[in-house]
Structure 1
């Protein structure tokens, strides 16, 4: 769990230093992380985790969450029963007190959503079910940008 936590923290720190203009073609190109990019950033994180020995993270799509089911949707990962969320703090402006990163077997905030497993989260696998090669190329470019930032941190 220590290595997993290290990798997730590393990834989140890299994402925080990037701006929408650093990306192309995904929600990351129009929203400042962590705002409104939970799906795309989760798929990129899943690729990073897979490349570092943590494969098979599932993409979890949540609906109708929050205090009064006022949060329409949210996306995070589940890896062998552990929830991993790097964007839940985007909801703090609505009165939540979420940490920047959630890594837990149970989390009250995430449990408030009606959750659905959407399969393997790594964009290199996940997108093949849904999209055009152009979107896959955009994600590949975004992932390369994040990796460059991670390598720059040394």
Structure 2
């Protein structure tokens, strides 16, 4: 590996025309750490801000950032394509997007990640004092150091934010906000958002 010979405690083998090698020792040889969740059969390999996950019995490997970005992008595109009048008046999307829609957007993305991939994000509320007199509140998701946000561009004029979809560990927007509340998506999902969630989910997957 990188020009050096890597020794395994268990010999690699060929099973059903597939080469099998000890993943933990390869991960450690790359300077990464490996964690295994026995309940879900999920393996996570982490190095710095990069993480990949795979499930025992599956040939598909997911990188966390790419998976978060994929879902966030699909949700934003779905919201933009739906007539606002199809959302109930209790849903922020009925009144506009992305302005004033950070809470419901975060809820929808978090619920989709939880239901489809068992990713339980933190729902984060932050407050910001702008120019010493105007208070702003913003909501986003966090998971394993990543901030997930599809309404950051509502601050285009205020903070010169242009990205429609943020999945980042160090985006400049969040330095302006002080976290006031954090809770897991699995702890609560509002009934008034269920119709919007179903509408968006069905558009994405059907």
Return the index of the structure with the highest Cα Rg: 2
What's 1:142 paired with? 196
1:54 offset after TM fit, Å?
4.5
3-state SS of the aligned residue for 1:52? helix
3-state SS of the aligned residue for 2:108? helix
Distance across 2 between alignment mates of 1:63 and 1:103 = 20
Higher percent of residues as helix: 1
- Provide Cα deviations, 1:66-106, integer angstroms capped at 9, x if missing partner: 67684511000001111001101011133522300110111
Distance across 1 between alignment mates of 2:78 and 2:86 = 12
Structure 1 unaligned blocks of 5 or more:
128-134
TM-score normalised by length of structure 2: 0.61
- Which structure 1 residue ranges, 4+ long, deviate > 4 Å from structure 2? 65-71
Higher percent of residues as strand: 2
Q: How does 1:1-154 map to 2 (within 5 A)?
A: 1-24=65-88, 25-29=90-94, 31-64=95-128, 70=134, 72-94=136-158, 96-121=160-185, 125-127=187-189, 135-136=190-191, 138-152=192-206
Instruction: Determine which structure has greater relative contact order: mean sequence separation of CA pairs < 8 Å that are 6+ residues apart, divided by chain length.
Output: 1
Distance across 2 between alignment mates of 1:103 and 1:27 = 22
Distance across 2 between alignment mates of 1:45 and 1:22 = 19
- Provide Cα deviations, 1:10-63, integer angstroms capped at 9, x if missing partner: 11111111232111122222x222111100110111001112214220111010
TM-score normalised by length of structure 1: 0.80
Distance 1:5 1:95, change over 3 A: closer
Aligned length: 141
Distance across 2 between alignment mates of 1:84 and 1:65 = 22
1:148 offset after TM fit, Å?
2.4
Distance across 2 between alignment mates of 1:69 and 1:2 = 38
2:102–2:138 contact (8 Å) kept in structure 1: yes
